[in-house]
């Protein structure tokens, strides 16, 4: 598989057990001569094959931290779910401070855009009586385009929260500070990594890359013990909109 997808296969680990074939919702996986292979035109990067493979032959690819931090002005966009990876005694603003210490120039919460999108979606639904499907999840959008094209018109005509905030941040830094920032999304979802190279509903993504949650977690966890109150920036306190990431938010 190429950069067209972020779900990849380690052929040397594949035992040809067909568990991934059975679990794939789009029938994108075939087994030939005892090894699985993925049809790029059918894969939606749902990562179900990663979940069911007991041999760990499937994996998701993302940008490397050292490559991200080599950019002149790396900016990180954080999903609200990231903070829940830590114990309750580790505050969210301390986590953010550790990301600055790691080397990011700016850190923003996607939750703010998600909350704004929720309000806009509610307004849209109140003005339109038809049934609609959220377009925030790239897996759902690709699944509909691939398997259920008759439902395309039911997708909400709105950008995803991360694209909304990426566009806002990139434009603000450029227009107000003349900074050509490189924006990276922190995500546990392979499908959202894929949208960097294959934007949905727009010509090009405002993101420059993405990094997996597990890769960044192991880097910042050792730094948390070094964070003091002086390291926490008042302007970077976590907004109330972070509650959007709660169940039912």
Residue-averaged pLDDT of the chain: 89
* Contact status, residue 181 vs residue 73, Cβ threshold 8 Å: yes
Q: How many CB atoms lie within 10 A of CB 107?
A: 20
> Tell me, what's the pLDDT at 244?
47
For 15-153, where are the alpha helices, taking DSSP H only? 19-23, 48-52, 65-69, 92-102, 111-127, 138-147
> Tell me, what's the pLDDT at 247?
46
DSSP letters for 156-209:
-S---HHHHHHHHHHHHHHHHH----EEEEEES-HHHHHHHHS-SSSSS-S--E
Contacts of residue 153, defined as CB under 8 A and 6 or more positions apart, other chains included, come to: none
DSSP letters for 104-141:
-SEEEETHHHHHHHHHHHHHHHHH--S--B----HHHH
- 44-98 pLDDT per residue, tens: 999 999 999 999 999 998 899 999 999 999 999 999 889 989 998 888 889 999 9
Please indicate, yes or no, whether the overall pTM of this predicted structure exceeds 0.85. Answer: yes
Query: Which of 130-169 are b and which e, b meaning 16 or more Cβ less than 10 Å from the residue's Cβ?
Result: eeebebbebbbbbbbeeeeeeeeeebbebbbbbbbbbbeb
For each of the domains in the chain, give its residue range(s) and CATH number, in order of start. Answer: 7-60 (3.30.70.20), 65-245 (3.40.50)
- Residue 238 phi, psi dihedral angles, 5° rounding: -70, 130
Q: How confident is the model at residue 188 (pLDDT cuts 50, 70, 90)?
A: confident
């Amino acid at each position: 598989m190429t950069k067209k997808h972020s779900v990849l296969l380690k052929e040397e680990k594949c035992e040809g057990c067909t568990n991934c074939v059975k679990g794939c919702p789009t029938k994108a996986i075939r087994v030939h001569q005892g090894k699985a292979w993925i049809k790029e035109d059918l894969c939606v990067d749902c990562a179900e094959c990663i979940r069911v493979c007991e041999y760990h032959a499937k994996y998701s690819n993302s940008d490397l931290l050292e490559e991200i931090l080599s950019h002149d002005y790396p900016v990180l966009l954080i999903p609200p779910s990231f903070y829940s990876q830590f114990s309750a005694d580790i505050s969210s603003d301390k986590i953010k401070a550790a990301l600055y210490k790691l080397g990011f120039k700016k850190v923003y919460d996607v939750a703010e855009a998600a909350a704004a999108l929720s309000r806009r979606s509610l307004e849209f639904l109140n003005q339109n009586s038809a049934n609609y499907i959220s377009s925030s999840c790239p897996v759902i959008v690709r699944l509909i385009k691939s398997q259920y094209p008759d439902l395309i018109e039911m997708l909400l005509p709105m950008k995803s929260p991360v694209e909304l905030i990426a566009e806002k941040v990139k434009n603000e830094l450029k227009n107000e500070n003349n900074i050509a920032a490189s924006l990276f999304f922190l995500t546990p979802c392979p499908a959202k990594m894929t949208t960097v190279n294959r934007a949905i509903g727009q010509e090009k993504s405002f993101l420059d890359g993405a990094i997996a949650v597990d890769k960044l977690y192991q880097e910042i966890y050792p730094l948390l013990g070094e964070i003091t109150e002086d390291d926490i920036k008042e302007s970077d306190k976590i907004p109330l909109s972070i509650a959007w990431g709660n169940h039912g938010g």
